[in-house]
Amino acid sequence: MTEENLGEVVRAVHRRYPTGVSVVTAASPEGKPYGLAVNSFSSVSLDPPLILFAVNVTSSSYPWLFSADHVAVNLLSTSQTAVVRRFAQSGGDKFADIEWTTGQTGSPLIAGCTGRFELAVRYKIPAYTHTVFIGEVVCAEYTDDPALIYLGGKFFDSSDLRSTDA
């Protein structure tokens, strides 16, 4: 397997693994909101409550996220496909026509999400083309809305999933 072929295979394997859909947001010191869609979101620990996500250093939102002391992770619901498509694009005013509020930490919180975490950024770890951010949860909330799922380049409604538990 060549290195080029390995990259294609790695991408194909990733596309077979379902992920939740999240948007990470931060505010500039003046309060202007910034954000981007990420699928590299994971729980690290419950004691203390830690969350991680990774951001490509070439992202237009990266400088604002990197300089922020607090960020929010917005877990999108099934009704928010248009939201994720907007935040997956580079540049532009991603918050135009998006309902949002300012959270307790000053981070933008997107309305209609199935869950949200506000984080105090604790670690920023360089990882080649990305930075891995680890934040401590300072506020969390959720709704009963089903989560938006991403698999194989498509979005799915998590309420349609069937349990395999006996």
For the chain, the average pLDDT equals: 94
Strands 108-110 and 33-38: unpaired
Per-residue pLDDT tens over the stretch 4-57: 789 899 989 989 999 999 999 999 999 999 999 998 999 999 999 999 999 999
Instruction: Output the pLDDT for position 161.
Output: 82
Question: What is the edge-to-edge ordering of all strands in the sheet holding 148-151?
Answer: 19-20, 148-151, 154-157
CATH number assigned to the domain covering 3-154 = 2.30.110.10
166 has a pLDDT exceeding 70: no
Instruction: Give the residue extent of every domain in the chain.
Output: 3-154
Whole-angstrom CA distances from 23 to 82, 121, 129 are 12, 16, 19
Task: Report the pLDDT value the prediction gives residue 110, as an integer from 0 to 100.
Answer: 98
> What's the rounded Cα separation, in Å, for the pair 5 and 14?
14
Q: For the residues 131-148, what does the mean pLDDT come to?
A: 97
Dihedral angle over CA of 22, 109, 78, 11, nearest 10: -10
Question: Running DSSP on this structure, what letter comes out for residue 84?
Answer: H
Query: Is pLDDT at 1 greater than 90 in this prediction?
Result: no
pLDDT band, very low/low/confident/very high, at 164 (cuts 50, 70, 90): confident
Q: Residue 140 and residue 137: Cα distance in Å, rounded? A: 7
Q: Using alpha carbons only, what angle is made at residue 29 by residues 110 and 38, rounded to the nearest 5 degrees?
A: 40
Mean pLDDT of 94-98: 94
Average pLDDT over residues 133-138: 98
Amino acid of residue 97: D
58 has pLDDT over 70: yes
Percent with pLDDT over 70 in the chain? 98
